[in-house]
Amino acid sequence: MLIWVCALHCEAKPVIDYYRLKKSHEERAFDLYRGDDMLCVVTGIGKLASAAACAWVAARCENEAALAWINLGVAGAAEHELGTLFVINKIVDADNGQSYYPAPAVATSLAASACLTLSLPSDEYRDDTLFDMEASGFVYSALRFSSAELTQSLKIVSDNRRQQTGKNRQRVSELVQAHIESIDRQAAGLLRLKQQVAALEVPADSWQQLLSLAHFSQTQRSRLRVLWRYLGNREFDSETLLRQLATQKTAGEIIAALEQISYQDSEGL
């Protein structure tokens, strides 16, 4: 699942439109938009709101094998031109000085920048960093549920020393919309990485079928999971394996049978 995290509707709108996400009417805490393998949450302004929304969404995705995150929004900058898109490689929380480093795992031609997250709006422009009000809360929370390679922040300059458009919602949507192709490429790269991680996990349905064959202790479950993950990733057909295992009477026999298959398979490297 790829989760977009935006503070404002006007930041989220180009993404919602581009991917044709549908609003979920069952949710109350935050506005949530759903699509295939994709969610977009509108968090409201501020790092606490962003952190709370990330945790809230993650709790709704607990059965997902892997989560990828993109925090998309506008930011202030001293000199950069309005509308410039940056991938953020360092996030600093201005209140406590804590730094976070989203890992640059997706090859990109986008310019990179640091981002300072403030608790209050500011027009004190700093030369060496963008600034916003959400990124540190976003990354703090998202990293509880994913790795730094699957947690990205994209910021578009809406204000600088010469011009301020951050409060003009229509203009903010236009700034995001202008980069939607680049944003989509970034998202596609992240989805590919997420897929690599998810593909290694044990599929929930076959795992449940396997567990139903016998009573497994916790230790046996751990061993079973290792074997099932291996064979699943070696493209053994789970249905065929489950049929073979149905003749085994105990958890120990099932594990021994899977071990034999694994040993044989692995001897060829």
Size of the site for another protein (CB under 8 A): 36
Q: Nearest distance from residue 149's CB to another protein, in Å?
A: 4
68 binds another protein (CB under 8 A): no
First to last CA, the chain: 32
Q: Is 230 in the site for another protein (CB under 8 A)?
A: yes
36 to each of 3, 33, 72, 171, 208, how far by Cα in Å?
A: 11, 11, 19, 28, 24
Interaction with another protein in 76-135: which residues (CB under 8 A)? Answer: 89-90, 99, 101, 103-105, 107, 112, 114
Residue 234 near another protein by CB under 8 A: yes
- Does 27 participate in binding another protein (rule CB under 8 A)? no
Q: Which of the 8 DSSP states describes residue 48?
A: H
Is residue 54 within 8 A of residue 143, CB to CB? The reply is no
Pick the stretch among 119-127, 179-187, 238-246, 258-266 that binds another protein (CB under 8 A): 258-266
- Quote the tokens at residue 50: 């962003």
Say whether residue 168 binds another protein (CB under 8 A).
Answer: no
Is 170 a residue that touches another protein (CB under 8 A)? no
Instruction: Locate 208 and state its tokens.
Output: 């449940």
226 near another protein (CB under 8 A)? yes
CB of 12 to another protein, least distance (A): 25
Q: Phi then psi for 154, rounded to 5 degrees? A: -115, 130
Q: Is 184 in the site for another protein (CB under 8 A)?
A: no
| Residue among 17 and 79 whose Cβ is closer to another protein | 79
Q: Which residue has the tokens 């976070």?
A: 100
* Residue 263 lies near another protein (rule: CB under 8 A): yes
Sorted by sequence, the CB contacts under 8 Å of residue 224 that are 6+ apart come out as 210, 211, 216, 251, 254, 255, 258
**Both tokens of residue 237?**
């057909």
Q: Measuring CA to CA, how many Å separate 86 from each of 69, 72, 79, 165?
A: 16, 10, 14, 17
Binding segment toward another protein, per CB under 8 A, in 37-45, 143-151, 170-178, 242-250: 143-151
Q: Could you list the residues that contact another protein (CB under 8 A)? A: 89-90, 99, 101, 103-105, 107, 112, 114, 143-144, 146-151, 193, 196-197, 200, 226-227, 229-230, 233-234, 259, 262-263, 265-269
